[in-house]
Amino acid sequence: MESKGAQFEYIYEKPESLREVKTHYCPGCGHGIVHKLIAESMDELEIQDKTILVAPVGCSVLAYNYIDADGCEAAHGRAPAVATGLKRVHPDKVVISYQGDGDLLAIGTAETIHAANRGENITVIFVNNAIYGMTGGQMAPTTMDKQVTKTTPYGRDTSDVGFPIRACEMLATLERPVFIERTSVHDVKNIRKAKKAIKKALQNQAEGKGYSFVEVLSMCPTNWGVDSQTAVAFVKDTMAPYYPLGNFRDR
């Protein structure tokens, strides 16, 4: 790109911990961005050779296709339990529990709360796209009030099914977690903040500090039934006000 006589060249360097394969994710999905941030953090912390990624059922299960590290698949909702076992058997490893909202806050609510309450020395990366993605777009525990899904064609009715669950706020009531932060990948500024939080969460574990939790607000244009630009606006204007971005704990 030329500007005022100067020549600019933009060069992308793929993180070593990110596999060079064709993506399976839908256009506009935020999972790929989060994968890149995890891989960059692994490279910078030099932990690729001792990282174990736990991927449960959902769009999150595809993570092992892209992040070049040892991996273990978990049953739906059981990633924190599997991560706990792996970490206790291999305390020298860095164990990542990579989860979506239906997995972490529906079938896996108990595992999520109790792993955090015990203060397990693991890192949980929680991708919140306000819907069940892999199974076709049903209402998730994080689906917004009045949001249309396959199972809420007239919009989520909070008088019937309750309000969306705020994971960070819930976990912040517990004593043992050392790091809790909510981030987003809807624009460059927030992607940079998400990278910083993910790296911090991994570093905490490498240093033996305890349980770290990073929530990432993300887009799902396909299951929301909108284009990519509208999805970005939905995260910014609808999700972020209800799920405020920022740090909830850093010990």
pLDDT digit string (tens) for 30-77?
Answer: 999 999 999 999 999 999 999 999 999 989 888 999 999 999 999 999
The SS3 call for residue 84 is helix
pTM here is 0.94
Residue 2's pLDDT is 45
Rg (CA), the chain: 18
Domain boundaries, the chain: 2-250
Question: What is the CATH T-level fold of the domain 2-250, as seen in this structure?
Answer: Rossmann fold (3.40.50)
pLDDT digit string (tens) for 77-114?
Answer: 999 999 999 999 999 999 999 999 989 999 999 999 99
CA triple 137-114-235, angle to 5 deg: 35
Torsion, Cα 87 45 178 110, to 10 degrees, reads: -40
Count the Cβ atoms, other than its own, within 10 Å of residue 155.
Answer: 14
Separation of alpha carbons 149 and 199, rounded Å = 33
pLDDT digit string (tens) for 140-188?
Answer: 999 999 999 999 999 999 999 999 999 999 999 999 999 999 999 999 9
Separation of alpha carbons 54 and 80, rounded Å = 8
H helix runs in 30-164, sequence order: 31-45, 79-89, 101-102, 109-118, 158-161
Chain-centroid distance of CA 26 in Å reads 16
Amino acid letter, 25? Y
108 pairs with which residues across the strands? Answer: none
Residue 10's pLDDT is 65
Would you say residue 5 has pLDDT above 60?
A: no
Work out the pLDDT band at 3, boundaries 50, 70, 90. Answer: very low
181 and 197 Cβ atoms separated by less than 8 Å = yes
The residue length of the chain stands at 251
Stated as kind and residue range, the H or E segment containing 71 is strand 70-73
Residue 184's pLDDT is 98
Separation of alpha carbons 206 and 84, rounded Å = 15
